[in-house]
Every structure is written in C-alpha cells, then in structure tokens.
Amino acid sequence: MKIKARNSAGVRSKSVAATDSGSTVIDQHALEKDVLEQRLLATAGERPEEKDRTSGAFSGGVVVLLLLLMLQLLYLYREQAVEIDFIASVSRSLGYTPPQIRHPEMIGLTNRVFTHVEGQEGLYRLQLGVMNHTSHRQPFPLIEVSLTDAQGVTRARNRFHALDYLSPAVVRDQMTPDEEYVVSFAMKSSASDISGFMLDFF
C-alpha cells in the first residue's frame, strides 16, 4: 500500500523511499532501525534523578538484606551470652525493656535447710541457696514448694514469686551466672506429719 509521507522540514526520512511518480513508500527495515536508534539515545540521555532513584533503591535493598541476615543470626544464637547482651543494649538504646530469657531448668540448689518454726503450729521455714548455671543473666524464678508427709504425699503447695522472697531492689536485677543467692520463705500446713518438701522452678 502506498501512502504519502513527508516530514515537517520537507526532507524525506530514512525510512521513506521516493518513487518515480512522486509518491513514497515505507521502508520497514529502515523504520525499525530508526526506532532502535531513538530508544538507545533516550536511554543514554536518562535523567540523573532517575539514576539516583535506581541507585538508592538498590542500596536500600542491600541494607534490608543485611538487617534480615543479622536478625537471623541473632535468633540462631539467641542463647549465647554475647548475643543476649547485644540485644539488651540495643533494646535499651531504643527505649525498650530488654527481653527476659528464662532457663529455669538451669537453676540449681547449692544448699537447703527445712525446719519447723518453734512455737508456731504447722508453720515451716525453708531456706535455699540457688545458682544460675547458664552463661547469661536471667530473671529470678517463680518457685513452687510442695510440703510432703512421711509417705511422700503432698499435703500443702504454694508458689512464690521473686518479690515474695527477695527485696524489690534485688528483683529489678537478674541472676548473674555462677553466683549464689540465699532465699527463704515460710509455709503453713494443717497436717501434723510434714517431713519433707519438693521444689519446682518456673
């Protein structure tokens, strides 16, 4: 199909070929070449702000990936003393309360004294030496005490929070690794044959 085409300056484009009759026809190969050249020129002339946006997006993506990697490493090694101290310091710097990591199964007894309080019917006193055997600091535990009779049957049970057996100043701190803490509390039972106790830490 023949069409007439002339640019505004009166000069034929490279993609237009003249015929003997004065009409012109479209040269498809030349037209495609012109389009490709225009695209290359447009790319080469990309505005600086567009390049800055592309570079900024790439840098932001790298930072996010590094943060995700760091968080993953902190999670994997969250029970290590160095990692726990790092998380605590970052939390404090951001104005948050550091997370409390509990390992009650790592709290051991260094000594225990169980006595009947003289002159007080059914009242018993328990004194314990407890120690944190982890490599990091952890909160003082909730202690459950069960009083048992001669047959090992539980006759009384009570739970003691840290504030029940420590002063508020000490509770605000945490158990330092391998340091002994002496705590004591009293329990009452209506049974007359109490002979022992059992402990659980939570």
Token pair in block for residue 146: 């069960």
59 pLDDT higher than 80: no
Q: What is the pLDDT of residue 86?
A: 65
> Which of the pair, 95 or 27, is modelled with greater confidence?
95
Measure CA of the first residue to CA of the last residue in the chain; give whole Å.
Answer: 90
Minimum mean pLDDT among 24-38, 115-129, 151-165, 170-184: which range? 24-38
For residues 14-49, b (16+ Cβ closer than 10 Å) or e, as one string? ebbeeeeeeebeeeeeeeeeeeeeeeeeeeeeeeee
Q: Which among 202, 167, 168, 160 has a CA at the least distance from the CA of 185?
A: 160
Band (pLDDT 50/70/90 cuts) for residue 13 is very low
Q: What is the pLDDT of residue 61?
A: 79
Give CA–CA dist 104/108, Å, rounded. Answer: 9
The pLDDT tens digits for 23-54 are: 555 566 666 677 666 766 665 555 555 556 66
Ordered domains of the chain (ranges, CATH)? 104-201 (2.70.50.60)
Band (pLDDT 50/70/90 cuts) for residue 9 is very low
158 pLDDT higher than 80: yes
pTM of the model: 0.55
